[in-house]
Structure 1
Amino acid sequence: MKHSLPQATDGTLLPNTVAADAPKVPAFDDNELIRTAAKVTRDLNAVRPMIYWTDLLASAVIGYGAMIAAIMIESTGLAILAGIISVLALYRAGSFIHELTHIRRGSMPGFHFTWNALIGVPLLLPSFMYEGVHNLHHMRKRYGTVEDPEYLPLALMKPYTVPLFVLVSALAPIGLFIRYALLAPLSMVIPPLRKLVVERYSGLVINPEFRRRSPEGEFKRQWYAQEIAASIWAIVLLTAVATGFLPMKAFLIAVAIAAGSVVLNQIRTLVAHLWENDGEVMSVTEQYLDSVNVPPPGLLPALWAPVGLRYHALHHLLPGVPYHALGEAHRRIAEALPKGSTYYRANHTSLFGLVAGLVRGSAGQASSTQSGTTS
């Protein structure tokens, strides 16, 4: 594991730390950080529905409006600009799927349904693909282990893994059409295929070893309703293209915009963590340090890490704080803790620096592995 907690200049361990060569058990937590973060943000846990609704609806209107403009505008330059705006807006709207997994059901009546109707089903990414999966990533003893569906030790893998991780996401729209237009209907009458679809193709995961369990209870009803809606939508779209009702140009532009949003999210995922854990159980503080904050004054993270995702490390520390309160939570914690404390060690400055660090880390790991093999 790469993250040991602070040491004194003579190498002795400070309180609540472990040596780098200690047995593979969770390190002691920085209890001051955990207590302070909980104390100063106690009043920030309530969601503000007006912010959620306004943000989602505005993002959806801008996203789809810009998509229509990209399809209809004759000027190539203006069409590309409209496409970029559409990618950013729909990416922001799509990012609310993360909030759906954390807000309590009933706190905003109709929000889950509206998000799926506006974003989830049209983009073939209904919320059941994330709900019931993402919460496993936050489980204390699952994070960073082989049981975490959203974790890969990318910093410890081959250098080509990093660009491949991003490039493969561009094919997501094709995979989603196959999943919903073909596999979903067939799986309803072929039980072995259904098992495969549920286990392997029903979750937004990056861990290839993860296998999803079949849904139960009320969630099963929600899953099936969303899946049927997405399946019908995929079949209707493909039929419209095949019959000429939907022009191929319009379809390809829409697919390119959807792919752009997925690629942007994959790049954001690439730097959401440092990906340095080798599969062992981590303490809360270690999980925090393996995650990334990109706080102000930088402005670009508001575009590539929207809806509070620029405070991803803080979110792992306080998963109950809604996205609109994370900025205030960061300010309060930073004011309450001294410079140089553990809290500041998860703060980073830019996307490019994080990607470069990940590439260097994987290249260094590959080099050391090769040296060890040949020695």
Structure 2
Amino acid sequence: MNKLASEGVSLTKQAYGLTEDLMTPNAAVYWIDLVISTALMWGGFWIAATTANLAIGLVAGLVSVLALYRALSFIHELTHLRADETPGFRLGWNALIGMPLMTPSLMYEGVHNIHHIKDRFGTALDPEYLPLSRFTPLKLAGFLFVALLAPLGVILRSAILIPLSFVVPSLRVYVRTKLSALMINPDFVREDLNRWRPEWVAQDVACWLWSWAVIAATVMGWLPVRFVLTGLAIFSVATFVNQARTLVAHHWDNDGSKMTLDEQFLDSVNVPPPNLASELWAPVGLRYHALHHLLPRLPYHNLGKAHARLAQALGADSHYHQASEKGLFEALADLFRRVAQKQPGAEKAAAR
């Protein structure tokens, strides 16, 4: 084993030893956070969709965007939680968030865990990795702004493709393998068709019925069009913010080859304090993304405490300190700078 790989294993062991007492999720924290986030999401939406005051509407809309984003981000936690650790939380999250936003937990369960498999991370088999630093600036910008269309995508899936898939078997296979995963790798195909759970079918049906109910209420005039457009706008902005956060979650430098544990950690990014704004654009622990890859079972509410311990205990020469960025804009600027440097003719231009 080379020195880099050896250090990676050592870092993992050191991190676990320093945080072993923080591995137990606190169910009360999860429930309180989710309920408050959901209340702010719907409350902000209601005010934004009804007020005649533009300033109040914009502020309420922003609150709803951030609360929606935070509440939706719990789908990530669900993939790492055992059912007995937070009783009823998966069902509660799907009822409050997954079904209304037509983004049920099935779209991350059985998918996100693949991103954490050592031999798949950063390869063509990873659903959440692309060599983004090798994109052109225009293609990278396209990756960012296409997220604005996410609400239309989930409506198409829920209102049209899901009901059709129950009468067209080949379409059902396609929906399950290609349209039932939150992924950024367009070539990823779900392989767990034989383990498709009854509750996942129930989630699909619930999203289908919800979408039809909203459409019917709008057509009949029971639901004002302003409510629908406001909801779509809030959802769209939230997915855009998440896409921007995705751009800085990793360095995206890998070419598809297998990576050591240390290389996987160093490809990931923390945006820790003193940057407080990262709690808004990378909520529910997402600002400690590198630490999460180091210790995937660490619950989100303990990531800050774990980071403080590791930052203090590990020496200045530890790889752990190399995974931090100062902020969102600094990390985005670094990504676009590396993208520009890899463009044809960039080296010649720099030498002039």
TM-score class, shorter-chain normalisation, is over 0.9
- Indicate the residue corresponding to 1:138 in structure 2: 116
Shift of 1:35: 2.0
Shift of 1:100: 0.2
Cα RMSD (Å): 1.4
Shift of 1:369: 8.2
Of the structure 1 ranges 28-37 and 166-175, higher mean CA displacement relative to structure 2 is found in: 28-37
CA contact 2:340–2:346 (8 Å) conserved in 1: no
Q: Secondary structure at the match of 1:276?
A: coil
State which of 56, 68, 74 in structure 2 corresponds to 1:96: 74
5 Å-filtered alignment, 1:1-375, equals 16-17=3-4, 27-217=5-195, 219-367=196-344
Of the structure 1 ranges 359-368 and 273-282, higher mean CA displacement relative to structure 2 is found in: 359-368
Shift of 1:214: 4.7
Equivalent-residue separation in structure 1 for 2:212 and 2:330 (angstroms):
42
Shift of 1:330: 0.7
Q: Secondary structure at the match of 1:74?
A: coil
Equivalent-residue separation in structure 2 for 1:142 and 1:214 (angstroms):
16
The amino acid across from 1:136 in the alignment is: I
Q: Secondary structure at the match of 2:137?
A: coil
Q: Secondary structure at the match of 2:172?
A: helix
Equivalent-residue separation in structure 2 for 1:216 and 1:263 (angstroms):
33
Shift of 1:249: 1.0
* TM-score of the pair, normalised by structure 1: 0.90
Q: Secondary structure at the match of 2:62?
A: helix
Of the structure 1 ranges 145-154 and 231-240, higher mean CA displacement relative to structure 2 is found in: 231-240
Q: Secondary structure at the match of 2:342?
A: helix
Equivalent-residue separation in structure 2 for 1:152 and 1:32 (angstroms):
27
CA contact 1:215–1:223 (8 Å) conserved in 2: no
Q: Deviations over 1:171-190 (max 9, x none)?
A: 11111111110010001111
The amino acid across from 2:183 in the alignment is: V
Higher helix share: 2
CA contact 1:36–1:336 (8 Å) conserved in 2: no
Percentage of matched positions with identical amino acids:
47
Shift of 1:38: 1.2
Q: Deviations over 1:216-271 (max 9, x none)?
A: 44x52011010000010011111111221111111100111111111111111111
CA contact 2:128–2:185 (8 Å) conserved in 1: yes
Equivalent-residue separation in structure 2 for 1:319 and 1:272 (angstroms):
15
Alignment size in residue pairs: 347
Shift of 1:30: 3.1
Shift of 1:213: 2.7
Q: Secondary structure at the match of 1:367?
A: coil
Q: Deviations over 1:131-190 (max 9, x none)?
A: 100000000100000000000110012111221111111011111111110010001111
Shift of 1:215: 3.4
CA 1:232/1:255 → structure 2, altered by over 3 Å: closer, same or farther?
same
Equivalent-residue separation in structure 1 for 2:68 and 2:8 (angstroms):
38
Which segments of 5 or more consecutive residues in structure 2 lack a partner in the other structure? Answer: none
Q: Secondary structure at the match of 2:121?
A: coil
The amino acid across from 1:273 in the alignment is: H
Structure 1 runs (4+) deviating above 6 angstroms are: none
CA contact 1:158–1:366 (8 Å) conserved in 2: yes
Which segments of 5 or more consecutive residues in structure 1 lack a partner in the other structure? Answer: 1-14, 18-26
Shift of 1:370: 9.5
CA contact 1:170–1:262 (8 Å) conserved in 2: yes
